[in-house]
């Protein structure tokens, strides 16, 4: 660690997180204690205690991030010093642009790549880049269509000073995406010093790519620089609302986290630049003890590079780095399940030798991100049992305060991001002004306040069945906007609805205050089916677009 302030930063941040955690636990204990804590309430307190580290970490990152965003002249440069030393102009070394594809609609994949290549060539840097489309498509018909589309795309490119385009398809997708990338590094990378990973739905500007290369060239000990990723302009209501809040939250979270993590930063698998040789040497993933492949590979690759003495940094800047989010609720829930299955594998990886303490902490954070779901579901179920038994003398006012505190911590990164925009007129102008931004924030908060409990329940149900062999598979996601018929939504979400109705009835039978306190958590479950249909409805989506509700700067700039 080269930054001499690192120990002080981390000690200060740990103290902040500990103080927030103790406050949350004290508020919970104070709400449950008046009538004495019975067995059910003791279980509630224990479950809350296990969820508190993640809530406190979220709040800590949000507070630090907001302070930097409001007070620093250049927040990204403050947390990534190599950005200041980066040399503008054409890169010295060669960078491979690596796009992993599998059964993709190439008419959606190729246009953003064409824009990127055109930008690099216009900047006079085309000769320092090579585009590699790495295919894991197994279906013969899909592979033929993919090859034809890439052949047509390549035909008009690759002139003098241009970016050369290459296509390689594996006959076996061993190791999934991580195996695909490592196969490229072993057999096709050539003299490339860096490679920049892109997903099939990624879109990056030439300016963003050149900035990442310049940062890597400014610090020879950097192995990964991960840029923030924001949602591409979305037409459907679900991704439009979800990514509006996600964008605000990630900006505050990543800025705060980068301040104390420093060289122990994250890797999210795409829209990042990596140094070929250390990655090839240290990030090769062997199968797990049970013979299965590591699914969520990116964080493991990051911590292994850190363990080998390499730096992994986050560039908390949004400009020029985008992705497409799932177009509707079913795809989002399935993606969460895939990520949850991958993150739960990290239990086995915590025992790996030679990991740094921060590396292990990153794996624990990834586990907590999903482990919180069954714990929150358990708290709600135990609260229902307690309410039916008379509540054990818990103070409803103090309980409401404790619930509000936990809610604020959970949503604190998003709220911090919203506060930054509203307090900075120049930033708000990119969203059409403060009023337009506030309308989008209000719509997003209303929708996500209903959707979050539903999403939490879905993760809890999935993780509860995961030890018994349930898998969703690592399948390509549907990237097209579409409406969802009521019968399809009902088939997917009837269990969630049933749980929500049952819990609501239990709290209603207990008392009116208990019902009112529980509704923020059960109403989204009760409304699961209509939420799924309405958030994918073309008419509602068109209504939001026409009024530019939750519009992003990229959407507004495009007119």
pLDDT tens digits, one per residue of 169-189 = 998 878 788 889 999 999 999
Beta bridge partners of 227: 315
> Is residue 126 pLDDT above 50, yes or no?
yes
Q: Compute the mean pLDDT over every residue in the chain, rounded to the nearest whole number.
A: 91
pLDDT tens digits, one per residue of 53-84 = 999 999 999 999 999 999 999 999 999 999 98
Domain annotation for the chain: domains and CATH numbers: 6-73+374-557 (no CATH), 75-235+263-364 (3.90.550.10)
> Is residue 5 pLDDT above 90, yes or no?
no
Asked if residue 58 lies in contact with residue 409, where contact means CB atoms within 8 angstroms, the answer is: yes
The per-residue pLDDT for 89 is 80
Rounded CA-CA distance 404/398 in Å is: 10
* Cα-Cα end-to-end distance for the chain: 45
3-state SS of 321-353?
EEECCCCCHHHHHHHHHHHHHHHHCHHHHCCCC
Rounded CA-CA distance 294/285 in Å is: 7
What SS3 class is residue 96?
Answer: strand
Rounded CA-CA distance 142/182 in Å is: 23
What SS3 class is residue 166?
Answer: strand
- CA-nearest of 180, 134, 139 to 293 is 180
Alpha carbon 366 to chain centroid, angstroms: 11
Cβ neighbour number for residue 475 with a 10 Å cutoff: 10
Asked if residue 184 lies in contact with residue 168, where contact means CB atoms within 8 angstroms, the answer is: yes
CA distances, 315 to each of 195, 210, 318 (Å): 16, 13, 9
The order of strands in the sheet holding 321-323 is 203-204, 321-323, 230-231
Task: Please report which residue ranges of 33-105 form alpha helices under DSSP H.
Answer: 39-71, 75-79, 82-85
pTM, whole model, 2 decimals? 0.91
- CA-nearest of 183, 191, 195 to 135 is 183
What SS3 class is residue 138?
Answer: coil
Beta bridge partners of 95: 129, 194
Task: Please report which residue ranges of 156-202 form alpha helices under DSSP H.
Answer: 176-187
Q: Where are the beta strands (DSSP E) in 102-175?
A: 129-135, 164-169
Asked if residue 375 lies in contact with residue 53, where contact means CB atoms within 8 angstroms, the answer is: no
Asked if residue 170 lies in contact with residue 135, where contact means CB atoms within 8 angstroms, the answer is: yes
Rounded CA-CA distance 339/293 in Å is: 14
pLDDT tens digits, one per residue of 248-286 = 999 999 999 999 999 999 999 999 999 999 999 999 988
Which residue's structure tokens are 């500990």? 18
Which residue's structure tokens are 């829209």? 271
Confidence band of 291 (pLDDT split at 50, 70, 90): confident
Rounded CA-CA distance 227/247 in Å is: 13
The least confident of 235-239, 345-349, 436-440, 442-446 is 345-349
Residue 325, CB half-sphere, CA atoms under 13 Å: how many? 24
Radius of gyration of the chain (CA): 24
Rounded CA-CA distance 505/148 in Å is: 57
What dihedral angle (degrees, nearest 10) is formed by the CA atoms of 519, 525, 529, 535? 80
Asked if residue 493 lies in contact with residue 486, where contact means CB atoms within 8 angstroms, the answer is: no
pLDDT tens digits, one per residue of 478-531 = 545 678 999 999 999 999 999 999 999 999 998 898 899 999 999 999 999 999
> Is residue 88 pLDDT above 90, yes or no?
no
Rounded CA-CA distance 496/516 in Å is: 20
């Amino acid at each position: 660690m080269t930054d001499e302030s690192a120990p002080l930063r981390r000690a200060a941040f740990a103290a902040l997180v500990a103080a927030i955690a103790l406050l949350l636990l004290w508020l919970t204990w104070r709400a449950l204690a008046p009538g004495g804590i019975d067995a059910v309430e003791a279980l509630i307190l224990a479950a809350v205690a296990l969820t508190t580290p993640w809530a406190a970490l979220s709040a800590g990152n949000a507070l630090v991030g907001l302070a930097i965003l409001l007070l620093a002249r250049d927040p990204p440069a403050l947390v990534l010093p190599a950005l200041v030393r980066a040399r503008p102009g054409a890169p010295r070394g060669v960078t491979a642009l690596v796009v992993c594809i599998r059964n993709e609609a190439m008419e959606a994949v190729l246009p953003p790549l064409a824009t990127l290549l055109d930008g690099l060539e216009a900047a006079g840097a085309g000769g320092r880049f090579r585009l590699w489309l790495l295919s894991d498509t197994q279906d013969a018909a899909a592979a033929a269509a993919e090859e034809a589309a890439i052949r047509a795309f390549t035909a008009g490119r690759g002139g003098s000073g241009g970016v050369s385009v290459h296509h390689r398809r594996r006959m076996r997708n061993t190791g999934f995406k991580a195996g695909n990338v490592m196969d490229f590094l072993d057999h096709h990378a050539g003299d490339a010093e860096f490679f920049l990973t892109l997903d099939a739905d990624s879109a990056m500007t030439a300016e963003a790519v050149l900035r990442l290369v310049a940062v890597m060239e400014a610090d020879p000990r950097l192995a990964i620089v991960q840029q923030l990723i924001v949602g591409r302009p979305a037409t459907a209501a679900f991704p439009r609302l979800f990514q509006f809040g996600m964008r605000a939250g990630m900006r505050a979270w990543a800025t705060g986290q980068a301040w104390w993590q420093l060289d122990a930063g994250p890797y999210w698998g795409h829209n990042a630049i990596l140094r070929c040789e250390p990655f090839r040497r240290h990030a090769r993933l062997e199968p797990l003890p049970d013979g299965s492949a590591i699914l969520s590979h990116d964080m493991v690759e990051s911590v292994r590079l850190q363990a080998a003495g390499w730096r992994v940094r986050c560039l908390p800047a949004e400009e020029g780095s985008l992705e497409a989010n799932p177009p509707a609720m079913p795809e989002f829930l399935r993606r969460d399940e895939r990520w949850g299955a991958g993150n739960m594998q990290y239990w086995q990886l915590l025992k790996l030798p030679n990991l740094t303490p921060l590396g292990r902490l990153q794996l624990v954070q990834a586990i907590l991100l999903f482990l919180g779901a069954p714990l929150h579901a358990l708290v709600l179920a135990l609260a229902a049992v307690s309410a039916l038994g008379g509540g054990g003398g818990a103070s409803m006012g103090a309980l409401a305060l404790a619930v509000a505190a936990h809610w604020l911590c959970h949503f604190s990164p998003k709220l911090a991001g919203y506060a930054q925009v509203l307090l900075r007129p120049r930033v708000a102008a990119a969203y059409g002004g403060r009023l337009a931004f506030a309308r989008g924030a209000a719509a997003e908060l209303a929708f996500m306040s209903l959707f979050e409990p539903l999403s939490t329940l879905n993760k809890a149900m999935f993780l509860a069945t995961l030890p018994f062999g349930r898998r969703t598979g690592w399948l390509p996601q549907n990237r097209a906007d579409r409406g969802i018929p009521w019968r399809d939504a009902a088939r997917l979400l009837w269990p969630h609805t049933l749980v929500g109705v049952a819990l609501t009835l239990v709290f209603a039978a207990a008392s009116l205050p208990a019902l009112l306190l529980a509704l923020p958590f059960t109403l989204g479950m009760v409304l699961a089916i209509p939420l799924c249909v309405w958030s994918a409805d073309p008419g509602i989506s068109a209504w939001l677009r026409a009024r530019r509700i939750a519009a992003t700067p990229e959407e507004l700039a495009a007119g």
